[in-house]
Structure 1
Amino acid sequence: MRNASVSRSIVELMRKSLLPLLALATFGIAGCDSSAPTPAPTTTVTPEASEAPEVNVAQTAEVNDWSDCPYIGPGWLEETNGQRLTKQGIDTRFPTPACVFWSYQDEPQATVIVRDMPTVEDARAAVDWAAPIDATEPASFDGWEGGRGVVNEHAVYAVQKDTHAVLVWSNQQQTVKSEQIAHEAIANLGL
């Protein structure tokens, strides 16, 4: 009787130890299916309005096209900023191209960036970036609000109205020159 009991125990033990191996072998063989895999379903995630990409209000002008500025004339700029114009270029990454003007120096004599921002708050943020509140004086005309001052040895005049921001830097120390350039850009663009 004891032998029968031992035999039954051995059979039971073998069955229990072989069962997991058999299951693994079955699943392993099933995984070797030669048919084409079924593609996983795709899900398109649409961002909600609150997940809109952040706007870069501090985007500087980088010339990518050596063309004339479409809204500031070269002769007018020379006379207004008081320096001979030796070259100019535009940055077409902006819907309204940014304009950069040089004289004989290595850095620009004037830079004009016109921004059409998604919100009024973004336009104000662009102005605050260009003409920091703690480093400039208030500037306003015809519903345009912003700041003017000398920042990093450049005269800056930056204003916004609605979702538009106009940011102007001049290598001259008189903010009146930056202001005149901004007014010319606004008038010529009909903003």
Structure 2
Amino acid sequence: MRRLVLLGAAASVLFAGCSGTEDPAPATSSAPAATSDAAPSLPPAPEPAAAEPCPYLGTDFVADANGQRVGEVRVSADQPHPTCFFYRPDGDIQLTVRVYTGEPEVATALVDQAAPVDTSNPTSQPPGWEGGYESTDKGAVYAVAKDGNAVIVTTNQQQSVKARTVAEEAISALGI
């Protein structure tokens, strides 16, 4: 009997708002909120700021891996890991290594910007990292992301294996 009284009271509360003289309560939705399809805001392209050694790659390693002597090294002001710019003795850039640490969506977007999914070859090297690589008329790029980290290597050499070798060394040296 007690249940009937409670049900009757609940029904009268429910129907009280349907009399037409009062505004009904606003409807609520249990559907999940729509997610934004907008691309994440990417940080600006790094610029060389200071002539100093790359903190995570040695010039001898880069010279051996890329097949060219290194004339100068400059680094960006980015933190915690600057982008390293390796120059040939004639002053032209031969190789850059960009490291991003932060939001996973931004890391993935940076990799997709450097090695677009539509045109690049997919890669999963080193294990656990995902991205792409491709050769262009200006050289090659190797770009991979894992969690909130991205490593993007561009080289003036056509062989993407050179960029991959440098990316793997940077990832190992940084411990990311």
Normalising by structure 2, we get a TM-score of: 0.73
Over the matched positions of the two proteins, sequence identity in percent amounts to 41
C-alpha root-mean-square deviation of aligned residues, in Å? 1.6
Q: Deviations over 1:5-60 (max 9, x none)?
A: xxxxxxxxxxxxxxxxxxxxxxxxxxxxxxxxxxxxxxxxxxxxx9xxx6325x32
Superposed, 1:35-184 pairs within 5 Å as 55-57=41-43, 59-118=44-103, 120-141=104-125, 142-151=127-136, 153-184=138-169
Which one is further off, 172-181 or 145-154?
145-154
Residues 1:99 and 1:75: Cα distance change in structure 2 (over 3 Å): same
The answer to whether the 8 Å contact 1:131/1:151 transfers is no
Q: Secondary structure at the match of 1:109?
A: strand
Offset of residue 92 of structure 1: 1.5
Residues 1:147 and 1:105: Cα distance change in structure 2 (over 3 Å): farther
Q: For 1:110 and 1:128, how far apart are their aligned partners in 2? A: 19
Residues 1:56 and 1:87: Cα distance change in structure 2 (over 3 Å): same
Offset of residue 105 of structure 1: 4.4
The answer to whether the 8 Å contact 2:42/2:109 transfers is no
Count of matched residue positions in the alignment of Structure 1 and Structure 2: 137
Q: For 1:86 and 1:99, how far apart are their aligned partners in 2? A: 13
The structure with the greater share of residues assigned to helix is 1
User: For the pair shown, which has the larger CA radius of gyration, 1 or 2?
Assistant: 1
Normalising by structure 1, we get a TM-score of: 0.68
Which 5+ residue runs of structure 1 have no aligned equivalent?
Answer: 1-49
Q: Which runs of 4+ in 1 moved over 4 A?
A: none
